[in-house]
Structure 1
Amino acid sequence: MKKMNDDVLDTYISAGKLASVILRESAREIRAGGSFLELVESVEARVRESGADLAFPLNVSLNEDAAHDTAAPGDERVFAKGEVIKLDLGVQIDGYIADTATTVDLGNNALLLDASREALEAAIRIVKPGVTAGEIGAVIEKEITSRGYRPIANLTGHGLGQYIQHRDPTIPNIAINGGSVLEEGTAFAIEPFATTGSGRVGEKTRIEIYSQIAEKPVRIPSARAAMEKVRERHGLPFSRRWLDDKKMVLALPGLVRSGILHGYPVLADIPGSLVSQHEHTLIVTADGCIVTTR
């Protein structure tokens, strides 16, 4: 991989600073009884008002849900005492992404939050050229299991590129042999998940987030109108809540069946379990890394 040029690096850093500020502010605003939809819409509006854009809809995943939930149109959910709430925010400037997450505890789960947070910090400390993804996974797994929890084995960190949210290297949350070798100039996200459950997630039926994966002819007018908006995303994920016409929303399942869109089901561990997540975006440097989302 070529060394990252200064303009691209500066853009990554700018996106990261903005994401960090907005994520911290939004986490402080969560209270029992607060509106799920109002939180999501206010955070997304803050990103857009800053002159940046969203890399993906704000993910707000509750309790055993680990990823891919966001507010539905007219969502009436409110946050409740005892909940563990993951906020996963993606900010992009000219397609360069800052991906960062934190967990808010409305119960008594400090050690669970500590497990994913300290796993992330321990992983960051070893990042430099030549380190393997497997070595990072081993550090993450050790920090989480030492606190009595399980890492989620089938969720991973991931490389980032311009308008690309997931690419190599894949960063596991468990120890593996080998894996990708980090190189100077690599942009990627590390995102440990700690769980009281099984350590694996499965798909729920709920789908709120989609992305375009192919370009094909579309005949139905409402589907064509939806695709006009979707193409503006350059392949990055979007929420059905962002489509302001009911006919466009109703066209989404057909576009998935046609292989034009991909839907992202909510990913969850076993019912009754609790999951925490922390995430930062990093750029590998000659002797370590820059954490853009501090």
Structure 2
Amino acid sequence: MAGKTKGVSESGMVADDEHDKEESLANDLVVTKYAQAADIVNGVLKEVIAAVKEDVEVGFLCDLGDRLILERTSKVFKKEKEVQKGIAMPTCISVDNCICHYSPLRSDPPVVLRKGQMVKIDLGAHIDGYVATAAHTVVVGASNTDKITQRKASVIMAAYNAMEATIRMLRPELYKNMEVTEMIDRIATFYKPIENMLSHQLSRNKIDGEKQIIQNPGEKQRSEMTKCSFETYEAYAIDILMSTGEGHVKPVDTRTTVYKRTDDIIYSLKIKASRTFFSNAVSRFGSMPFTLRAFEEEKNAKMGVVECERHGLLQPYQVLYEKDGEFVAQFKSTVLILPGGLLKITGLPLDSSLISCDEKITDSSVSPDVRIFPFFLY
């Protein structure tokens, strides 16, 4: 009996190992799926940026990004009917001191962009559960003859430089996640990383994986953060947010519209509208974040989500703010750690021709090998 039990256990372990490898970056098909999702994300991000203009409504930009992602993901892996594809992060457009996750409903009052406002665009796509996300910051009306200057320019440079340096620190077994956290603080210099924001490891159908990098943690968050290093065949979404203020999150009554299914909570919903909504959300989006704007009947979605959130079936992506008068910049890239090096598959280069800023990394404790120079793939 002992021998038989051992045989079953070993067989199960072999099956698990094969399954893990099948979903790992060691599998060329997995890399291809990440890369195709990334191509879509980069292309859509460029088009949304091009549409950021004075008098354009934020809701229009969110609809544009989501529509383009759905259109383009539908055109890949068409023969493989079992391959799920679509939005991995609904398009969020967060302006000035709004930090993240602003994706208004069609029934909400319109928010119209004004010249000089700082606009953060955050979106993502997946193919077969393999996620690529990106975020970029622009200023409405900026041009070669009307450049971004002063605080806006400096906080954009701080966020972009911190993201690029963070990516370089993902080299396998070289740095720990908390060393990256400390580096982000040093690069920020005169600006503050938004407190307790996380960059996540990515895995199949998991946008917020096990390993994390935290920026500007409080004492409680610092002590609770699991220490880790980075390994070959891992994927990460590196998400950096910097503020001209203190980096503190301010509660505001803006409606939450972006949610994600919680993996490990089971609850029997009592209200029929809630059951219908939850079933629809899971069948359409699985474990990926989604927006209530994606439902034709917004009123029913707004009613149905309440019980789901109250009992933990859905995780809310709250709309967060810095204090009034401050500016928040965000840059996010998806990075694959491969045997040949780091591959940055999403994220657009910063258009330095639009920025007038002399900010440089001056802290001598920041290693020269993570200091900044322009690049896209490495």
Separation in 2, partners of 1:204, 1:215? 30
Corresponding position of 1:229: 280
Question: In the alignment, is the contact (CA less than 8 A) between 1:191 and 1:278 conserved in 2?
Answer: yes
Question: In the alignment, is the contact (CA less than 8 A) between 2:197 and 2:216 conserved in 1?
Answer: no
Q: Does 1:70 align with 2:122?
A: no
Corresponding position of 1:35: 57
Q: Does 1:12 align with 2:55?
A: no
* Cα displacement (A) at 1:18: 1.2
Separation in 2, partners of 1:197, 1:203? 15
2:201 to 129, 154, 159: 159
Greater alpha carbon shift after TM alignment, 218-227 vs 181-190: 218-227
SS at match of 2:208: strand
Corresponding position of 1:196: 244
Separation in 2, partners of 1:274, 1:241? 26
User: Identity, % of aligned pairs?
Assistant: 26
* Cα displacement (A) at 1:174: 4.6
Corresponding position of 2:334: 281
SS at match of 1:236: coil
Greater alpha carbon shift after TM alignment, 214-223 vs 259-268: 214-223
SS at match of 1:162: coil
Aligned length: 292
Question: In the alignment, is the contact (CA less than 8 A) between 1:129 and 1:184 conserved in 2?
Answer: yes
Corresponding position of 2:291: 239
Question: In the alignment, is the contact (CA less than 8 A) between 1:103 and 1:277 conserved in 2?
Answer: yes
- Higher percent of residues as strand: 1
Question: In the alignment, is the contact (CA less than 8 A) between 2:89 and 2:122 conserved in 1?
Answer: no
Q: What stretches of structure 1 of length at least 5 have no aligned partner?
A: none
Q: TM-score, normalised by structure 2?
A: 0.72
Question: In the alignment, is the contact (CA less than 8 A) between 1:204 and 1:265 conserved in 2?
Answer: no
* Cα displacement (A) at 1:157: 0.8
Greater alpha carbon shift after TM alignment, 79-88 vs 211-220: 211-220
Corresponding position of 2:87: 54
SS at match of 1:204: coil
Q: How does 1:140-159 map to 2 (within 5 A)?
A: 140-145=184-189, 148-159=190-201
Corresponding position of 2:371: none
Which amino acid in the other structure matches residue 313 of structure 2? Answer: I
Separation in 1, partners of 2:166, 2:193? 13
Corresponding position of 2:48: 26
Which amino acid in the other structure matches residue 221 of structure 1? Answer: K
Separation in 2, partners of 1:204, 1:93? 34
* Cα displacement (A) at 1:93: 0.8
Separation in 2, partners of 1:265, 1:135? 28
Q: How does 1:248-259 map to 2 (within 5 A)?
A: 248-259=301-312
Separation in 2, partners of 1:221, 1:255? 11
SS at match of 2:106: coil
Question: In the alignment, is the contact (CA less than 8 A) between 2:91 and 2:123 conserved in 1?
Answer: yes
Separation in 2, partners of 1:284, 1:136? 16
Greater alpha carbon shift after TM alignment, 106-115 vs 229-238: 106-115
Computed over aligned residues only, the root mean square deviation of the Cα atoms, in angstroms, reads: 2.1
Specify whether residues 180 and 255 from structure 1 end up closer, same or farther in structure 2 by C-alpha distance, changes over 3 A only: same
2:163 to 104, 120, 132: 120
Question: In the alignment, is the contact (CA less than 8 A) between 2:89 and 2:133 conserved in 1?
Answer: no
Question: In the alignment, is the contact (CA less than 8 A) between 2:278 and 2:305 conserved in 1?
Answer: no
Greater alpha carbon shift after TM alignment, 84-93 vs 64-73: 64-73
Q: What stretches of structure 2 of length at least 5 have no aligned partner?
A: 1-19, 75-84, 141-147, 348-378
Separation in 1, partners of 2:207, 2:250? 21
Separation in 1, partners of 2:301, 2:104? 17
Which amino acid in the other structure matches residue 140 of structure 1? Answer: I
Question: In the alignment, is the contact (CA less than 8 A) between 2:273 and 2:300 conserved in 1?
Answer: yes
Separation in 2, partners of 1:185, 1:291? 13
Separation in 2, partners of 1:258, 1:116? 36
Question: In the alignment, is the contact (CA less than 8 A) between 1:67 and 1:267 conserved in 2?
Answer: yes
1:171 to 213, 217, 227: 213
Question: In the alignment, is the contact (CA less than 8 A) between 2:237 and 2:333 conserved in 1?
Answer: yes
Question: In the alignment, is the contact (CA less than 8 A) between 1:211 and 1:236 conserved in 2?
Answer: yes
* Cα displacement (A) at 1:125: 2.5
Separation in 2, partners of 1:126, 1:32? 38
Specify whether residues 236 and 162 from structure 1 end up closer, same or farther in structure 2 by C-alpha distance, changes over 3 A only: same
